[in-house]
Amino acid sequence: MEVIDKVVINIKKKDNCEDLPLPAYMSSGSAGMDLYADVDGETTLEPGRIKLVSAGIYISLPEGYEAQIRPRSGLAIKHGIGIVNSPGTIDADYRGLINIIMINFGTSSYTIKRGARIAQMVIKKITQAEFKVVNELGKTQRNAGGFGHTGV
- In tens, the pLDDT along 100-110 reads 999 999 999 99
pLDDT less than 50: residues of the chain: none
Q: What is the pLDDT of residues 17-33, one digit of tens each?
A: 999 999 999 998 899 99
pTM for this prediction: 0.87
Domains of the chain: 10-125 (2.70.40.10)
Among residues 53, 115, 63, the alpha carbon closest in space to that of 88 is found at 53
pLDDT at 66: 97
Nearby residues of 71 by Cβ (< 8 Å), 6 or more positions away: 81, 82, 83, 86, 119, 120
Q: What is the pLDDT of residue 146?
A: 76
